[in-house]
């Protein structure tokens, strides 16, 4: 007993060091659900407050770029409106249910904190549960897909960036609809990898990559990026390098995409596929 005590006293620094490192490692390994912890929720509200102040003062310098984006988007929406108006009516019944036929809802949010330099990047949005944001909503900028919401507090929400090595997106080649899994390899923030594409699929440099619509998060056809031409063959599939269309270093205005019929779809899928 005495020698044990002596031992502990003698190596108290080393023992404390090992204990603290073990605590840190446990914290890291359980970080998958850290978004739910109360402590982190409180810290997020405080840091969100500061980040919003900082963003307010720096956003002024990006006004021109934001304006250009909005003009481009307006133009695109006008074109779609035109196309929709010219479709001949097929029904004679007027439906007053405004939710009928709508699958996705969109919210407009502002990025108030962002990073591209880590392996697991997240960004903070200035909208929370108070504004109708919930976990699992997709986030896209005017240029393309940027992430998915993983944590919500009352006034803020945190989204896992596409630039997070844990992020997976079902994406397809727009030209021929072959789909694969898109993920970031943690190296260059401009590029991601589209894997699980079969060998026989013709994929050329410059082909557009869009969301496949197979997940319940993003509707089909949202821009993701273009093929850079570089590819790696191995096994049964080809991995393609994708130049992301969204520039994560200047994210400002983004859209939150909510799926209104998500629960219905989930229930059906889990009910049938056991």
Partner 1 sequence: MNGILRYSVGFFILIVLQLLIFNNIEFSGYINPYIYVMFILILPVAIPSWVLLLLSFMTGFVIDLFSGTMGVHAFATVMAGFVRPWALSLNISAEAAEPEMSPSSYRNGLRWFLIYTIAVVMVHHLALFFVEHFSFRSFGHTLLRVILSTAATTFFIVLFDFIRSRR
The end-to-end CA distance of the chain, in Å, is 57
Q: Give the span between the Cα atoms of 133 and 128, in whole angstroms.
A: 5
* Comparison of 58 and 103: residue with beta carbon closer to partner 1: 58
Q: Give the span between the Cα atoms of 148 and 133, in whole angstroms.
A: 11
* Residues 30-59 contacting partner 1, CB under 8 A: 30-31, 34, 39-40, 43-44, 46-47, 50, 54
- In the complex, least distance from residue 58 CB atom to partner 1, rounded to whole angstroms: 9
* Comparison of 68 and 230: residue with beta carbon closer to partner 1: 230
Which residue among 45, 115, 129, 215 contacts partner 1 (CB under 8 A)? 115
Residues 68-107: x where in contact with partner 1 by CB under 8 A, - otherwise, as a string: ----------------------------------------
Q: Which 8-state DSSP code applies to residue 167?
A: -
Tokens of 134: 């919930």
Q: Give the span between the Cα atoms of 205 and 242, in whole angstroms.
A: 9
3-state DSSP assignment of residue 88: coil
Tokens of 222: 């949202």
If one asks whether residue 186 binds partner 1 (CB under 8 A), the answer comes out as yes
Q: How many other CB atoms are there within 10 angstroms of residue 197's CB atom?
A: 19
**Listed ranges 15-23, 139-147, 224-232, 237-245: which one lies at the site for partner 1 (CB under 8 A):** 15-23
- In the complex, least distance from residue 75 CB atom to partner 1, rounded to whole angstroms: 32
Q: Give the span between the Cα atoms of 243 and 205, in whole angstroms.
A: 10
* Comparison of 13 and 100: residue with beta carbon closer to partner 1: 13
- In the complex, least distance from residue 189 CB atom to partner 1, rounded to whole angstroms: 6
Q: For 103-154, give the DSSP string.
A: -EEEEEEEEEE--SSSSEEEEEES--GGGT--TT-EEEESSSEEEEEEEE-S
Which residue among 7, 8, 11, 23 contacts partner 1 (CB under 8 A)? 23
Q: Which 8-state DSSP code applies to residue 89?
A: P
If one asks whether residue 188 binds partner 1 (CB under 8 A), the answer comes out as yes
* Comparison of 186 and 206: residue with beta carbon closer to partner 1: 186
Give residues in contact with partner 1 (CB under 8 A).
12-13, 16-17, 20-21, 23-31, 34, 39-40, 43-44, 46-47, 50, 54, 115-120, 122, 158, 185-189
């Amino acid at each position: 007993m005495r020698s044990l005590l002596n031992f502990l006293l003698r190596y108290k620094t080393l023992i404390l060091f090992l204990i603290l490192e073990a605590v840190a490692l446990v914290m890291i390994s359980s970080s998958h659900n850290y978004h739910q912890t109360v402590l982190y929720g409180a810290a997020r509200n405080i840091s969100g407050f500061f980040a919003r102040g900082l963003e307010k003062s720096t956003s002024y310098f990006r006004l021109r770029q934001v304006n250009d984006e909005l003009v481009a988007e307006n133009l695109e929406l006008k074109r779609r409106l035109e196309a929709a108006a010219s479709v001949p009516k097929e029904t004679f019944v007027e439906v007053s249910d405004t939710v009928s036929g709508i699958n996705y809802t969109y919210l407009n949010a502002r990025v108030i904190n962002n990073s591209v330099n880590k392996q697991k990047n997240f960004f903070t949005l200035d909208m929370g549960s108070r504004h109708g944001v919930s976990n699992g909503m997709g986030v896209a900028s005017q240029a393309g897909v940027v992430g998915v919401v993983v944590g919500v507090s009352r006034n803020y929400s945190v989204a896992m960036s596409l630039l997070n090595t844990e992020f997976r997106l079902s994406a397809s080649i727009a030209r021929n609809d072959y789909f694969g899994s898109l993920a970031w390899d943690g190296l260059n923030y401009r590029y991601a990898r589209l894997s699980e594409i079969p060998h026989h699929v013709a994929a050329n440099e410059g082909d557009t990559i869009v969301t496949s619509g197979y997940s319940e998060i993003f509707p089909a056809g949202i821009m993701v990026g273009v093929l850079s031409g570089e590819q790696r063959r191995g096994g049964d599939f080809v991995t393609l390098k994708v130049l992301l269309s969204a520039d994560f270093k200047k994210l400002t205005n983004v859209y939150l995409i909510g799926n209104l019929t998500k629960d219905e779809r989930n229930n059906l899928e889990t009910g049938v596929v056991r």
